[in-house]
Amino acid sequence: MSDGDDVRGRLIQAAGPIFAEKGFAQATVRDICAAAGANVASVNYYFGDKEKLYFETFSHAHRCRVRQTPLPPFEPDQAPEEKLRGFLRSMLQRLFEPDERTRWEHELLLRELVQPTGIMEPLFEEFFRPMFTLLTGIVREFVGQEPSEADVHRLSYSVLGQCLFYRVGEHIVRKMHDQPELSREFTSERVAEHIFEFSRSALQGYGKPASMRAGPTGREADA
């Protein structure tokens, strides 16, 4: 609904990328209306005020994402390795979303997660929690022994942090590499594979002291 060429739909479609790029405060209704080819007054006519337009735009993005990318495919009998790999592939694909038309939806959701305006408060459980619960479940499968709740969270944050870095640290990454290398070496697939390898090693080594881990190189930990 509301994707047509009616003004209301056009406003949401125009507002999405602008809110995603500049944030709520920096985006102006004049910019949005100009991009939508609509009059300045139309925002207030159709939505009441700017904040309600933001809310509608946000929940539109949320609904689209839930519908199109429900969650990483999970099979209860899969090995935890494959679950983790699937989770990371899905996550990185979202963060690296190449499709111009839908990228802003991820950006908007992520922006709200990192610097909340408060609009997501009610949707937090629905949007973020399922993804996080899935991750903690995978982590728990990896870590054989009984870890504390705080440990599971820290481990999950470690996995999640690696992923989010490529979005929040985008400017850093872009500055450290020239364009051709960036597009060659930092595709969503390669980064996902890297984070998978990194995290698998870490998770499997969890709880084992340094001297017990690692192979024959025997770089024993002491100084």
Partner DNA sequence: ATTGCAGTGAAACAGTTGTTTGGAACGTGC
Partner DNA sequence: GCACGTTCCAAACAACTGTTTCACTGCAAT
Binding site for a copy of itself (CB under 8 A): 25-26, 78-82, 113-116, 124, 128, 132, 144, 150-151, 153-155, 157-158, 160-166, 168-169, 171-173, 175-177, 181, 185-186, 191, 194-195, 197-206, 208, 210, 212-219, 221-223
Whether the CB-CB separation of 37 and 10 falls below 8 Å is answered with yes
**Residue 15 binding DNA, by CB under 7 A:** no
Q: Which of DNA, a copy of itself, none does residue 5 bind (CB under 5 to 8 Å by kind)?
A: none
Min dist. Cβ of residue 207 to a copy of itself (A): 9
Exactly one of 7, 64, 143, 202 binds DNA (CB under 7 A); which one?
7
> What is the largest distance, in Å, between two alpha-carbon atoms of the chain?
71
Min dist. Cβ of residue 28 to DNA (A): 3
Burial of 187 (0-12, 13-18, 19+ CB in 10 A): middle
Q: What is the 3-state secondary structure (H, E, C) of 140-173?
A: HHHCCCCCCHHHHHHHHHHHHHHHHHHHHCHHHH
Q: Is 99 helix (H, G, I), strand (E, B) or coil?
A: coil
Report the site for DNA in 148-167 (rule: CB under 7 A). none
Stretch that binds DNA, among 12-20, 44-52, 85-93, 113-121 (CB under 7 A): 44-52
> Of the two residues 66 and 113, which places its CB atom closer to a copy of itself in the complex?
113
Min dist. Cβ of residue 112 to DNA (A): 17
Min dist. Cβ of residue 41 to a copy of itself (A): 25
Task: State the residue for tokens 């996550």.
Answer: 91
CB atoms inside a 10 Å sphere around CB 37: 12
Using CA atoms, how far apart are residues 213 and 184, in angstroms rounded to an integer? 33
Q: How many residues bind DNA (CB under 7 A)?
A: 17
Among candidates 90, 185, 180, 170, which has minimal Cα distance to 135? 90
Residues at the interface with DNA (CB under 7 A): 6-7, 27-30, 38-45, 49-51
